[in-house]
Chains A and B, each alone.
Chain A
């Protein structure tokens, strides 16, 4: 799988900012992979997403050094067409409603109308996406009459319906209750199964451990660790750098320190059960 997005020595500063928000960033995003982006608040995660989508510097202005390439072309050279390639979902469900549509159906169809897709195809695609995101029952309701979780699902549906290959999802569950979080992650899981390239910013590290293929850890505008989730999320040295790790990984590490022969540090609950069970059996045999 080749790189679909490349960052080459990217340094970006917001207007009037004394310090760059992103410092000398170089990395590649591979097609079809799920990237979990983690780090403390203010570490540059959202700026990173805005750079990939081209919002920085085209919307935020500021100074960009280096290059961000999407399918080999600079983001600054794309116009509105980038919205067909990259879908973007924000953290606040309440500000993601267009404000000009009366029903959820029209809200989801809005992007396709902008792209000039024929009406029959819009109907078909919107119905399909509403079924996938479980919002068909809300189709004729006003988008402003929905709960936060429902609104976030509508926002996701409005982006998914454009069928972008790449999806950037910035803390979609930060304002949702557990039920809303679960429903949003069920959609993300379906998107992963469809082999979409997903870049997800999320503080709920257990969910990142569950779904992501690769993890990028941000600190002070730089990526301090990147790679396979099992390698990154089991690296206890990251705890000292302010990163949070899955509870099962911390537990696994402690058990290993106390002499339980774990073959690896688990990062998900399912993996933890397997690894710990195997270790206990081995101990019994000894």
Chain B
């Protein structure tokens, strides 16, 4: 028998990890972030580097691979890694303070710079990485539905979901505006100064267009009974993968172990 449209819009995931209920995934994200901060306080070597953050980051590719989303995650992780690398280099070579560890001509690596660089860049890699896992294995509508089910106001849930959708739309609009400005003779390619000059002629129509569009969108929503009071129907329903309790328990256990280990290191 042919499926109804309501059946076709449901999301069925065979992978237990990818199919975790969004609130459980969020719990994993929060606990992973807590663990990252705790591990960041463990310092090794003479200059107190937060080296544990490096092996801790391995959890991310393992989690992505186990969720069957490594391919999708790697693309996003590459962008995060690039930002982290820039921060690592800038912090390492430019932040002064403490003993000078190495000197390459006019460049020098100071104790404080190296310490901040390792800590900050791997902190970013870890926290951004866990969010990459969350967003690559969870669709926007799953998050929105979970937020509503958790008691969040439907208006706030709308703002959250539409914001995620709007990123793509604004990106498309900005390309159209750039092309239009090019056609009018605005230079959009070249060195930094040329690009900076093209920034305002492109940004102003983009923002104004978004503001004008949002007014009509508000009225469109109003015309579709958005503000009507009473129980709403949800055609899309969340499914549980069955591994929620195990995943939550494992995340809590690991967090407790890490915190306990950190306390033990302090005491000892």
Given contacts A83-B223, A83-B225, A95-B217, contact A102 B5 (CB under 8 A): no
Q: What is the minimal beta-carbon distance from B129 to any residue of chain A, in angstroms?
A: 26
| A122 near B235: Cβ-Cβ < 8 Å | yes
Which of A10-18, A112-120, A237-245, A263-271 forms contacts with chain B?
A112-120
| A100 near B158: Cβ-Cβ < 8 Å | yes
A119 to B233, CA, bound (A): 7
Nearest A residue to B169 via CB reads A144
Q: Pick the contact of B235 from A88, A109, A144, A162 — CB < 8 Å?
A: A109
A103 to B219, CA, bound (A): 21
A155 to B250, CA, bound (A): 47
| A159 near B223: Cβ-Cβ < 8 Å | yes
Which of B77-85, B159-167, B195-203 forms contacts with chain A?
B159-167
Given contacts A109-B235, A116-B233, A126-B5, contact A81 B228 (CB under 8 A): yes
| A113 near B235: Cβ-Cβ < 8 Å | yes
A110 to B227, CA, bound (A): 12
Tally of chain B residues near chain A (CB < 8 A) = 38
| B222 near A80: Cβ-Cβ < 8 Å | yes
B46 at the interface (CB under 8 A from A): no
| A55 near B225: Cβ-Cβ < 8 Å | no
Q: Pick the contact of B233 from A94, A112, A139, A158 — CB < 8 Å?
A: A112
Within 8 Å CB of A116, what residues of B? 230-233
| B233 near A159: Cβ-Cβ < 8 Å | no
Within 8 Å CB of B166, what residues of A? 99
A273 at the interface (CB under 8 A from B): no
Interface of B is mostly: helix
Within 8 Å CB of A88, what residues of B? 219, 223
A53 at the interface (CB under 8 A from B): yes
Within 8 Å CB of B5, what residues of A? 103, 105, 123, 126-127, 139-140
| B232 near A99: Cβ-Cβ < 8 Å | no
| B226 near A114: Cβ-Cβ < 8 Å | yes
- What's the count of A-B pairs with C-beta under 8 Å? 119
A111 at the interface (CB under 8 A from B): yes
| B217 near A118: Cβ-Cβ < 8 Å | no
Q: What is the minimal beta-carbon distance from B11 to any residue of chain A, in angstroms?
A: 10
Tally of chain A residues near chain B (CB < 8 A) = 46
A79 at the interface (CB under 8 A from B): yes
B236 at the interface (CB under 8 A from A): yes
Q: Pick the contact of A162 from B169, B213, B219, B224 — CB < 8 Å?
A: B224
Q: What is the minimal beta-carbon distance from A145 to any residue of chain B, in angstroms?
A: 11
| B235 near A55: Cβ-Cβ < 8 Å | no
| A80 near B233: Cβ-Cβ < 8 Å | no
A110 to B6, CA, bound (A): 12
Given contacts A95-B213, A112-B233, contact A119 B6 (CB under 8 A): yes
| B224 near A123: Cβ-Cβ < 8 Å | no
A122 to B232, CA, bound (A): 12
Q: Pick the contact of B226 from A80, A102, A105, A126 — CB < 8 Å?
A: A80
Within 8 Å CB of B232, what residues of A? 113-114, 116
B144 at the interface (CB under 8 A from A): yes
A9 at the interface (CB under 8 A from B): no
Q: What is the minimal beta-carbon distance from A89 to any residue of chain B, in angstroms?
A: 8
| A80 near B219: Cβ-Cβ < 8 Å | no
Interface hits, B58-73 → A, CB 8 Å: none
Nearest A residue to B210 via CB reads A95
| B169 near A98: Cβ-Cβ < 8 Å | no
Q: List 19 A-B contacts (CB under 8 A).
A: A55-B219, A80-B225, A83-B222, A83-B224, A83-B228, A87-B223, A90-B220, A95-B217, A95-B220, A99-B162, A103-B9, A111-B224, A113-B232, A113-B233, A115-B228, A115-B230, A115-B233, A122-B6, A159-B223
Q: A100-B141, A102-B9 are in contact. List 16 more A-B contacts (CB 8 A).
A: A59-B222, A79-B228, A83-B223, A95-B213, A95-B216, A95-B217, A96-B220, A98-B162, A99-B162, A100-B162, A105-B5, A106-B235, A114-B232, A116-B231, A122-B233, A155-B220
